[in-house]
Amino acid sequence: MAYEREADTFAVETMGAAPMANALAALAADNMQNPFPHPLYETFHHDHPPIPERIRYVQEMSEETAESAEETPGDGTPSA
């Protein structure tokens, strides 16, 4: 599942958090996936984290990115 986190991180850095969260929600709806599987069922039958967990991770990444951007000094323009 560590590779899923890396893939989600790459997608958020490339596309942004909102499109990624929307895509994950659409995939879950299209596949009629149970968003909250029993932990034992998940352990033996799933190779991806549950969609709500992935969406939460994407949103947390977005918040962390926004916080780090606020902490960056300067106006964001490159110096000559």
pLDDT tens per residue, range 21-70: 999 999 888 988 888 888 899 889 888 888 899 999 999 988 887 777 77
**pLDDT on residue 76:** 57
**What does DSSP assign to residue 34?**
-
Rounded to 5 degrees, φ, ψ at 7 are -65, -40
**Residue 61 to residue 48: CA distance in whole angstroms:** 18
- Its pTM stands at 0.73
**What does DSSP assign to residue 30?**
H
